[in-house]
Amino acid sequence: MAEAPETLRAQEFALARHVRDPARHPPPPGIEERRLAVYRDLFYNSLENLLAGNFPVIRRTLGDAAWHALVRRFYAEYRCQTPLFTEIAREFIRFLEPLDDVPGWLPELAHYEWVELALQIAEDAPPPHDPRGDLLGGRPVLSPLAWALAYRWPVHRIGPGAIPAAPPDTPTLLLVRRDAAGEVRFSELSPLLYRLLELLADDACPGGRAALLALAAEAQAPDPDAFLREGAAMLERLRAEGVVLGTRPG
């Protein structure tokens, strides 16, 4: 009787290996093929449907054969570090990132598609801030639900029949944010605005005025005062959109 748990464990692992990769692993003996097929289809279809819902652009762009081959490879080879369904899409990205035999744009497009889900379910609480604080004199606080993203590939334009042969010379800069109504919104960023958000996100940033003046110096702006005025107006627009929440208290 002491051997029964170990025997059952071995059978369970054999069944799991077969369900994940039936081409390489035979099933445990004594199980009817019809029942095995039910298990194989049930588990694979559940995963494939989940990923297809998370990555619809990739699904359409790759086409049926390449998409299913990729999902089956993920299913057979990758070991997820979490059992949560909401994290499977992130695990799929981790699977793609080190691969050198997939299109170069694929990991970035997967990340771009995942961002919408990630922001929809994000529960980050806003840090302490003064919503009416002086954005020039104080230290602006960025919303944890507004992400400035940089990609080598134009991920927002890739789709069926629109696959670039090589990444462009300039990166694709995007702002993805969840608004007060819970809607996830995407917009393109200029290099200056992306850099400003980088500076403001730095804990060492002394304040909005200092960030704008540093940006003016980097951009070699001919009129720093005019640059500062335009930058102050931009900070106010970012506050109105909820990207900037206010300033750090005290």
What pLDDT, in 10s, does the model give residues 21-62? Answer: 777 777 777 777 787 777 778 888 899 999 999 999 999 999
pLDDT at 2 over 50: no
Q: What are the tokens at 131?
A: 């919503």
Annotated domain spans of the chain: 3-102, 140-247
| Residues with Cβ within 8 Å of residue 48, at least 6 apart in sequence | 68, 71
For residue 89, the model assigns a pLDDT of 95
**What CATH class has 140-247?**
alpha beta
For residue 4, the model assigns a pLDDT of 59
C-alpha span between 94 and 77 (Å, rounded): 12
C-alpha dihedral (125, 129, 130, 136), degrees to nearest 10? -130
**pLDDT tens digit string along 60-84?**
999 999 999 999 999 988 888 888 8
Instruction: Render the burial of 91-128: b for 16+ CB within 10 Å, e for the rest.
Output: bbbebbeeeeebbebbbbbbbbbbbebbbeeeeeeeee
**pLDDT tens digit string along 169-220?**
999 999 999 998 999 999 999 999 999 999 999 999 999 999 999 999 999 9
Please name which of 54, 150, 149, 152 lies closest in space to residue 103, comparing C-alpha atoms: 152
For residue 207, the model assigns a pLDDT of 95
Instruction: Render the burial of 137-163: b for 16+ CB within 10 Å, e for the rest.
Output: ebbbbbbebbbbbebebbbeebeeeee
**pLDDT tens digit string along 123-132?**
999 999 999 9
Amino acid at 149: L
Please name which of 47, 174, 161, 152 lies closest in space to residue 106, comparing C-alpha atoms: 152
pLDDT at 99 over 90: yes
The residue-averaged pLDDT of 88-117 equals 96
pTM metric for this prediction: 0.88
For residue 115, the model assigns a pLDDT of 96
